[in-house]
A and B are shown apart, each in its own frame.
Chain A
Amino acid sequence: MDVFCDTFYAMGTRLSLVIPQINKLYCENVSQEIKAEILRIENKLSFFNPNSDVSLINRDAVHHELKIDKETCSLIAKSLEHHQLTGGAFDICKAALKHGLPNSSNNGCESIVLDTKASTICLKSDHLKIDLGGIGKGYALERAKKILLQANVDNALVSFGESSILALGNQPGGNCWKVGLRSKKNTEKFVHKFNLYNSSISISGDWHFHDNLGVASNTHIVDPLSNKLLSKNKLIAVHCESPLEAEILSTALYTKSDEEITSIVQQLKGIKCISHSLQKEREVLTDYQAVNKVQF
């Protein structure tokens, strides 16, 4: 069976698009459209691009009401909504602290005043900076999903850095797309498998795998309480319909305790959450729906 696969760099990692059973030239056009859209989002949301909306806000919205476009406004609104939902765990102001900039503000999302009707923002704290890095890949996958559906692509898998996956329809050989979290100690084995069908998964945490299966540490999540980078020797995987939701929650829940995660997951509908950690050289898998812990 023919299968189209394209991989390109975006947002500091790579994106792979796999589409089975469709004309390759058609897929190439779809892939180009997705690439252009993701590049647009990257340029718009980048913390480092001086011309991005985020840079504009960080430069001009401190103690000043700044008009912003609807798309950026809705993403910040989504971020603030999840700041509430996660009890402050998801914080686009704290994310900026990981860049280690001098004079960074320790204040969080409560210092943002957003008017969604007027589409304005004001940062009510000196040196406060927002960083939409925790939402960027999820939003990019939302946009990719829209492009794929508009192009009548019913079955596709989009992998963003192997940590954020969007699955449309199913793999032609089965009734879903099967993906698995690898064991950190024995990369030949899976510690958990997910069946994805019109759904997404996002993984956040302390390590990723090189292509040669070497393990690289990847500490990048800021604890909103201590304002420091967290390192828990742990991954959080969130499986739900929306890639944006999965992206936000995997980052936010990583900072929380097992009890807090269980509580949040039970409040939210249609969310599956797994953690995979290394404790005293033993791998532990926790399923927060069943609140099960499995050691192996």
Chain B
Amino acid sequence: MSNPISRRKFIGNISALGLASTLPFMSTFSFASDLSSPSNIVNVGIIGVGSRGKVLLLNIQKIQGIKIIAVCDNYDTNYKRAISLTRNTAKAYTDHRKLLENKDLDAVIIATPLHEHAHITIDALNSGLHVFCEKSMAKTAEDCNAMVSAALRNNKILQIGHQRLFDPMYHKAIEMIQNKQLGSLTQIRAFWHRNRDWRKPVPSPELERKINWRLYEEYSLGLMTELASHHLQVANWVYGAAPISVAGFGSINYWKDGRELFDNVNLVYKYPNGNHLVYDSLISNKHYGMEVQVMGDKGTLEMEKGNYFLEHPPAAPGILQLVNDIEKGIFETVPIGGASWVPETANKVKPTKYHQTQKGLPEPTELQFHSFANHIRENKIDEENLKHGYNSSICAIMGHKAMLENKVIEIPDNLRM
């Protein structure tokens, strides 16, 4: 890659990533000049250091200006791993309430199973801490509402972990959509397919539900909250709105192993202006992988791959000249070709790559913590991010409800931020 932006240069110049233009909260994405200064250090505790919590911890450790001073997990394997990963530099807890008593903390990162997001988040906010909570926000609409209320009441930041909001490729796509490069939007088709049982090995049977919490309705809404919420957030971003209704079907049609949550979901979300999101997810075939296909009357985007397809090919320069000549009353010779023009991509359906990721730059998962820390330093509430987290979580919850009840669910206005 030519002229890559160095990590150091990036630290001082977030706009070089192209993140600033499409979301209001990115305007605060500037950086303190001296991140090593004690006054600029943000002290955080991580609650829940399972598979996702570990990823978050490793990303945070790369960031100058954020210090992990506490870790917490009530599962012994994860607890020990957290201590090891932080090389004994963070104080370790098994009870999040004890961690919240640590007076040196500025914020907590919550990566527990879904059913614990709400009460831990609310406890942390009520303790005067800022919160970064992994997606999905919560398992019920009531919990989502309570989390938002707690954040607003305590005037603290509550950021939900939707890393696509920090992905330059997604920002470029949103910019193209806003510039009408796809024309009028009509439909989004999104899917997330895997081919594995989604189970983790369990050392003893009594730990089954604790470790495989994603499979049981007491703890999760399965594919909806653990995968779909990402694409639901993207769809809301693309349409600039949250849906008004949803219908769908869900089944357990492959992994009939005692799990309680669907392994196969198909839903349609309807948005205020009649646009649709068609979403499906399954874990018994991975051929199509994952994608968000945004369709307009002039073009299509594949947002996960960064592909752009035009509905119409570009007219030849000679034809454009001819049109211009006729409009202006000019009578000139129009250049024509040699043999037949063929698309330079050699295949008419081969897409244009609309974004090239620059090497050496932080991943979106890391970038979201830069933003979180900066909002804390500036004591600035990030309502736009919270809105995305809330709306996508409500979408997941309502989608699950539609499948459970086998009916169209109207999403009330008071469940839309």
Contact = CB atoms under 8 A, between A and B. Distances in A.
User: What is the interface of chain B mostly: helix, strand, loop, or mixed?
Assistant: loop
A204 B312 CA distance: 25
Interface in B299-352: 312-319, 322-323, 325-327, 329-344, 348
Nearest to A203: B338
Interface residues of A, number: 53
Contact of B337 (A3, A9, A12, A161): A161
Interface stretch (A44-52, A53-61, A207-215): A207-215
Nearest to B335: A182
A173 interface: yes
A16 B336 contact: no
A211 B340 contact: no
B322 A157 contact: yes
Contact of A179 (B313, B323, B331, B334): B334
A209 B344 CA distance: 10
A7 interface: yes
Contact of B341 (A1, A8, A208): A208
Contacts of B315: 5, 7, 14, 16
Nearest to A3: B326
A153 interface: no
A214 B171 CA distance: 32
A32 to B, nearest CB: 13
B341 A180 contact: no
Nearest to A218: B339
B326 to A, nearest CB: 4
A78 interface: no
A177 B338 contact: no
A7 B329 contact: no
A178 interface: yes
A18 B336 CA distance: 14
Nearest to B314: A211
A272 interface: no
A163 B338 contact: yes
Contacts of A210: 341, 344
A47 to B, nearest CB: 15
Given A18-B326, A171-B326, A208 B312 contact: no
Given A18-B322, A172-B326, A7 B314 contact: yes
Given A7-B313, A162-B318, A174-B331, A209 B326 contact: no
A213 B317 CA distance: 9
A137 B340 contact: yes
Nearest to A15: B313
Given A162-B336, A211-B314, A1 B344 contact: no
Contacts of A184: 338
B323 A13 contact: no
B319 A13 contact: no
A203 B318 CA distance: 16
B326 A1 contact: yes
17 contacts: A7-B313, A9-B348, A14-B315, A16-B315, A16-B319, A20-B326, A157-B334, A161-B341, A163-B339, A171-B326, A182-B338, A184-B338, A193-B333, A201-B336, A203-B339, A213-B317, A220-B339
Given A1-B329, A209-B338, 18 more contacts: A3-B326, A5-B315, A13-B341, A14-B316, A16-B315, A18-B322, A157-B322, A160-B340, A163-B339, A163-B340, A178-B333, A179-B336, A206-B338, A208-B337, A208-B338, A208-B339, A218-B340, A220-B339
- Please name the 8 residue pairs, one residue from A and one from B, whose CB atoms are nearest each other, closest first: A162-B337, A161-B340, A173-B331, A174-B331, A218-B339, A180-B333, A178-B333, A163-B340
